[in-house]
Amino acid sequence: MHLRPLIIMACLCLLPEPVAVASKPAISDPAPPGTMERQPAAGMFLVARRDLRDPHFSRSVIYLLEHGPEGSAGLIVNRPSGLKLSEAITGIREQVGARYSLYFGGPVQHGQIMMLMRNTGQTRLIRRVVGDIYVSADRDVMNRLLAENKPPDELHFYVGHASWSAGQLARELQGDSWHVIEGEPQAVFSTSPGSLWERLIEQLEPDGLYVLDQTGQTGTPLTAWIPALSGPPAQPANN
């Protein structure tokens, strides 16, 4: 299924600016339950490290759809576009499409819509990812799910996707670009996933950093992490 060209250009303009991030302190404490580092596989989350500066993936959480010797593919699940489905795809009634938000799935194939869904059986046009989560990019599948009034917490739509060639993701992992943790189906299908990265990164890199935007201006929507201890130890008072 294809998107209106003007809508796509508007979406691309909303991609975030690169961020400048201070160096990350070493992590000595074990990760909390559910955030232990794993090997990449379908159904896992890739969580961007604080110092990942690529503007396409900074502060992103990617749900891996597949990973193998020939490469990897996934969807960014925490980046709402601000558009509704009916605003981006022709032929969908507003009262139907307005129920569903459209998310940026990644920088590859911005003219294609992909769907993640739950509680849907596998068919020739629907592929199982893991558990009860399935993926499709077929217009007939979309029309059927909309006609069935599939609830928004069981059906998400994404513009584009993320992909890696053979060995590329392994090199990025060796370069400390990503954390790999167990995917959370509830988080994937949350109707407000915008804060997912903040929640996960504070568990994975808990020591805290101060993050500025590219210009160093105040009043930006970026979050500041303030270390618990700052500066030299206090000197005892003289008695």
Cα–Cα nearest to 101, from 230, 209, 192: 192
Let me know: does 211 contact 22? Beta carbons within 8 Å. Answer: yes
DSSP letter string, 109-164: EEEEEEEEEES----SS-EEEETTEEEE--HHHHHHHHHTT--TTSEEEEEEEEEE
Q: Count of residues for the chain? A: 239
Higher pLDDT, 11 or 97: 97
Question: What's the average model confidence in pLDDT over 188-204?
Answer: 93
CATH topology classification for 5-206: VC0467-like (3.40.1740)
Provide the pLDDT confidence category of residue 35 given band limits of 50, 70 and 90.
low
Phi/psi region, residue 91 (left: phi>0; alpha: psi -120 to 50; beta: rest), is: left
Let me know: does 153 contact 189? Beta carbons within 8 Å. Answer: yes
Q: Model-level pTM?
A: 0.72
Condensed to tens digits (0 to 9), the pLDDT of residues 131-141 reads 999 999 999 99
Q: How far apart are CA 59 and CA 189, in angstroms?
A: 18
Provide the pLDDT confidence category of residue 90 given band limits of 50, 70 and 90.
confident
